[in-house]
Structure 1
């Protein structure tokens, strides 16, 4: 009788442990290279702008691009935008794409507060499909990515960045 008991227990153990081992092996072999590193060009995006039009990658002009993911209520994001605006003359050939996932009304207020519509090279929109955070693996704000005039990724930053570092990456 004892040998008959061992077999069902062993079968149960085998049917439990073996699938767990396969799951563990599959999880450990997951690709940890983030999309922005695998595809180091400006990602396809669709941002809802303040005038309710959509801004897409196809609408960007040739030239350097700075992508910034921000929150209108984030102090660090506000300081980053203020610092960049103080030196806008040095960014005259750079296209800015500022994206947020926060409510549309907050975005519109942010545009108004910083008078961003006065700058034709700054586009602000709401990432309604939440495409950019997983693409860039964003963990803190502001997030900035700089692309050269060919559209190739130069550098990314999480958190505030000195304007000199941005300008250096753009040139």
Structure 2
């Protein structure tokens, strides 16, 4: 029994180390990704302009995601050079159009992507625990700047 517990403890430790490494290794620059846009075309890192970018991982049924939109629009008015990329899970695809229209997301971006394989959390180094909305900020060189999970912190963004 003690041997089994030791093996389990080692497994948990190794798993924790791997998850931590994923977060810090994947989070240093914009990773290579390929997601389908609501326009039907596939988009990748190569499609981004050389400007700061904020990836917004959202869910159309998330109240906090909806509350974040006015904050993002205010930020956009102050810093129009920031590029916004919205990404949601495929299971919400049918709800996305209503969310886009009701929140007038096209005022912020046309880059609204569908994560068909539910790979965004791994691709962007979020590990196993993440929430919506999650905002990932990268500077104009594609280097990671900051992760925000509380939409109220959007006011403090400086890139």
* TM-score of the superposed pair, with normalisation by structure 2: 0.82
The alpha-carbon deviation at position 145 of structure 1 amounts to 0.8
Q: Which runs of 4+ in 1 moved over 3 A?
A: 16-24
The alpha-carbon deviation at position 29 of structure 1 amounts to 2.8
Structure 1: which 5+ residue stretches go unaligned? 1-15
Partner residue of 2:10 out of 19, 25, 31: 25
Structure number with the bigger relative contact order (C-alpha 8 A, sep ≥ 6) is 2
The secondary structure found in structure 2 opposite 1:61 is coil
CA distance in structure 1 between the aligned counterparts of 2:23 and 2:152, rounded to whole angstroms: 19
Cα distance, 1:36–1:20 mapped onto 2, change above 3 Å: closer
CA distance in structure 2 between the aligned counterparts of 1:95 and 1:136, rounded to whole angstroms: 21
CA distance in structure 2 between the aligned counterparts of 1:112 and 1:20, rounded to whole angstroms: 53
Partner of 1:75: 63
| 2:150 maps to 1:159 | yes
Structure 2: which 5+ residue stretches go unaligned? none
Partner residue of 1:127 out of 115, 135, 145: 115
Larger radius of gyration: 1
**Do the aligned residues in 2 keep the contact of 1:67 with 1:99 (CA within 8 Å)?**
yes
Give the number of equivalent residue pairs. 152
The alpha-carbon deviation at position 37 of structure 1 amounts to 1.5
The secondary structure found in structure 2 opposite 1:136 is coil
Cα distance, 1:38–1:104 mapped onto 2, change above 3 Å: same
**Do the aligned residues in 1 keep the contact of 2:36 with 2:116 (CA within 8 Å)?**
yes
Partner of 1:58: 46
The alpha-carbon deviation at position 98 of structure 1 amounts to 0.7
